[in-house]
């Protein structure tokens, strides 16, 4: 079983789901690398976790920058010597914009983080896990229920999350030869800055605006911990965790 003393990387660890998961990993006894754009928020997550700071490494990183990702993984190797789990979580969105009104710059903004960034982190993790001794590890990609069905005006975000599903399946296949497992968690309406407007009302496919329930991000963290804690000969390939009454099942 994974857990105590294993090394976990969480990207997008400054807020929301990423922060909740980083704190959960630290409290579960993992040595945790926190990556994100804002150094002060990474540091405050370690303080909030209340763990020995020697067991945490905060690395400011823009995952869409190949050199920044290379520097992140060099820092992980220097500090801990190996990597056991990655929660490939960093992401951004441009919501509420129909495709006809979406600029190419906004399209690229989403793709550069959600797809390019996820690829760069997964590739670097795969290389580290393939080369280390003992070999292997686990990559958990953050998908979304948008990896299954879109919201109105979400073409870039939805396309990026469909791409994550292809990334997950391909890593799972490529990883078999070197004991690398890969799974995906698809999250619906976890409380964060991104979902702050949902209890007040968000656009629906029928043109109405309705309030949607949200759930505590801690429930996502416990789900990610479950996936991470499995032995490498077992894998949660896909998991969906969501606010029970959100309008996802039957959407459309």
The pLDDT of residue 188 is above 90: no
Q: How crowded is residue 86: how many other Cβ atoms within 10 Å of its Cβ?
A: 28
pLDDT by residue (tens digit) across 152-162? Answer: 889 999 999 99
Give the number of domains in the chain.
Answer: 1
**167 within some domain:** yes
- Higher-scoring residue by pLDDT: 166, 2: 166
DSSP string over 61-94: --TT-HHHHHHHHHHHHHHHS---EEEE------
Residue at 197 is within a domain? yes
The residue with greater pLDDT, 197 or 217, is 217
Alpha carbons 162 and 220: distance in angstroms, whole number: 20
Give the chain's mean pLDDT.
92
Answer yes or no: is 174 within a domain.
yes
Which are the catalytic amino acids?
Answer: 157
Instruction: Evaluate whether residue 171 is within a structural domain.
Output: yes
**Mean pLDDT over residues 169-184, rounded?**
98
State which residues form the domain around 222: 7-242
Specify which residues 88 forms β-bridges with: 141
> In b/e form, how buried is each residue of 41-56, taking b as 16+ CB within 10 angstroms?
bbeebbeebebeeebb
pLDDT at 178 over 70: yes
Q: Would 2 be classed as within a structural domain?
A: no
Please report, for the domain that includes residue 225, its CATH number.
3.40.50.720
Q: Could you give the count of Cα atoms lying within 13 Å of 78 in the half-sphere of its Cβ?
A: 8
Are 57 and 80 in contact by the 8 Å Cβ rule? The answer is: yes
Q: Please name the residues in contact with 28: beta carbons below 8 A apart, sequence gap of 6 or more.
A: 3, 4, 225
pLDDT at 252 over 50: no
Section 62-67 average pLDDT = 98
Residue 247 lies in a domain: no
What is the rounded average pLDDT of the residues 119-123?
A: 98
> How much of the chain exceeds pLDDT 90, in percent?
77
Does the pLDDT at position 70 exceed 50? yes
Q: Is 225 inside a domain boundary?
A: yes
In a domain, 182, yes or no: yes
Residue 65 has pLDDT above 70, yes or no: yes
């Amino acid at each position: 079983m994974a857990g105590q003393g294993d090394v976990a990387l969480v990207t997008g660890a400054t807020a929301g789901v990423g922060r909740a998961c980083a704190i959960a990993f630290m409290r579960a006894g993992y040595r945790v690398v926190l990556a994100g754009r804002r150094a002060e928020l990474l540091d405050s997550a370690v303080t909030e976790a209340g763990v020995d700071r020697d067991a945490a490494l905060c690395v400011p990183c823009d995952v869409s920058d190949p050199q920044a990702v290379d520097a992140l993984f060099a820092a992980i190797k220097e500090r801990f010597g190996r990597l056991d789990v990655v929660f490939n979580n960093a992401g951004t969105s441009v919501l509420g914009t129909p495709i006809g009104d979406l600029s190419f710059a906004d399209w690229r903004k989403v793709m550069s983080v959600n797809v390019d960034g996820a690829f760069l982190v997964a590739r670097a993790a795969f290389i580290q896990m393939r080369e280390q001794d003992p070999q292997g590890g686990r990559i958990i990609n953050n998908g979304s229920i948008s990896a299954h069905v879109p919201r109105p005006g979400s073409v870039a975000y939805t396309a990026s999350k469909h791409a994550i599903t292809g990334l997950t399946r391909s890593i799972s296949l490529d990883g078999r030869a070197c004991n690398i497992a890969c799974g995906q968690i698809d999250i619906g309406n976890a409380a964060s800055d991104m979902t702050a407007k949902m209890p007040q009302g968000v656009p629906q496919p029928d043109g109405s605006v309705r309030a949607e329930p949200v759930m505590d991000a801690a429930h996502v963290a416990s789900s990610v911990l479950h996936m991470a804690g499995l032995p490498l000969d077992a894998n949660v390939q896909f998991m969906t965790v969501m606010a029970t009454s959100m309008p996802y099942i039957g959407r459309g």
